[in-house]
Amino acid sequence: MCIFAALPFLLTQHISYTDSFFESMSGITATGSTVLSHLDSMSPGILIWRSMLHWLGGIGFIGMAVAILPLLRIGGMRLFQTESSDRSEKVMPRSHMVAKFIVLAYVGFTALGSLAFWAAGMSLFDAINHAMSAISTGGFSTSDLSLAKWPQPAVHWVAIVVMILGSLPFTLYVATLRGNRKALIKDEQVQGLIGLLLVTWLVMTVWYANTTDLPWTEALRHVALNVTSVVTTTGFALGDYSLWGNFSLMLFFYLGFIGGCSGSTAGGVKIFRFQVAYILLKTNLNQLIHPRAVMKQKYNGHRLDDEIVRSILTFSFFFTITICLIALMLSLLGLDWMTALTGAASTVSGVGPGLGEVIGPAGNFSTLPDAAKWILSGGMLLGRLEIITVLVLCVPAFWRH
């Protein structure tokens, strides 16, 4: 699909096929890394094509996360097999109804986001593009300045809300539409993601307001948008946050690994895997203190058996190794350590922009060697397909069984 999706870029932008393929892969995987510049003067057709790639890729990944990954039992996703079928049969009786309501929610949020962006001060064209990009947690903008082009605070808060909506489990929206009003607020993934965002907003705002001359309200808006963009792996930016200082640099780097919820459009490791790791750590510590005690490990009401734990650990290992190997290959091509490491991490996690002067929020990937772009394109695909999925599909024994 990426091969053909690259053709509009190749035929209209006078760029190489490598750049065209990189842009299309970034679009379909909702990564948001780009090689294009002068977006403000670019043809509307290309801009809407980029946003459409994000939008279609986002809904496609939701379908894969809900219907395919739990069946493959990859990366702990079996935790959500019951949630999307057995446990919620009374609310969502048939699979085609689930798909129908997911599409309805996705289209509905896109339409509402477009209207909200338009009401906040964007043109209708920009509003539609940014709504598609935000709900898919992609990050493509119609301006080189990203959301910094629009100074209206309302635009930024609309983007924050739509990005969060895109990073929550869409199966829970379905459950809500079917009558389970508490589905979202009771879910541990949702609680964890919202809690993480609020705590990070608070800490970063206090730090940022005290290191700049910005008023607290403006500091909060800058922090909230950039933090939400990185955590949800969207890629929008309000200024170059890689220039905020060493503390913010490290924090944004770590936040990019987390990602949103399972069953959403967000990339990254996913919040539930960090929550499960915390449960395992707490259980093991309690087991050391009380060696004879019987500890029950549960997440979202589901028992954490050995198979789930092993699959999460395996995914985490391959995720880390993939980033390290890609960063090593990029460094062999002559890239500096900041560009190599953050480029690998941002593409595999789906964040989009890296950190630093070259591929940071104020830059893009156009100056990288062609070999680096092909490597990073592979990283986007591996990260979006949860890495192990690709490995499993390449094993002949999988198809025999």
**Domain ranges (residues) in the chain:** 2-400
Q: Rounded CA gap, 101 and 177, in Å? A: 8
At 300, which helix (H) or strand (E)? Answer: none
Exposure string of 165-201, with b = 16+ CB inside 10 Å and e = fewer, is bbbbbbbbbbbbbbebeebbeebbbbebbeebbeebb
**pLDDT at position 82:** 41
Report which of 56, 81, 55 is spatially closest to residue 66, judged by C-alpha positions: 81
**pLDDT at position 83:** 42
**pLDDT at position 183:** 87
Residues 225-240: pLDDT tens digits?
999 999 999 999 999 9
Question: How many C-beta atoms lie closer than 10 Å to residue 332's C-beta?
Answer: 12
Phi-psi region of 125 (alpha: psi -120 to 50; beta: other; left: phi over 0): alpha
**pLDDT at position 88:** 42
Q: How far is CA 273 from the centre of its chain?
A: 14
**pLDDT at position 89:** 43
Q: Rounded CA gap, 305 and 131, in Å? A: 39
Q: Rounded CA gap, 171 and 262, in Å? A: 10
* Amino acid making up residue 335: L
**pLDDT at position 72:** 63
Report which of 28, 129, 117 is spatially closest to residue 380, judged by C-alpha positions: 28
**pLDDT at position 306:** 83
Question: How many C-beta atoms lie closer than 10 Å to residue 400's C-beta?
Answer: 6
**pLDDT at position 86:** 41
**Do 156 and 221 form a contact (C-beta atoms < 8 A)?**
yes
The parts of the chain modelled with pLDDT lower than 50 are: 82-93
Phi-psi region of 389 (alpha: psi -120 to 50; beta: other; left: phi over 0): alpha
- Give first-to-last CA distance, the chain, whole Å: 27
Q: Rounded CA gap, 117 and 158, in Å? A: 6
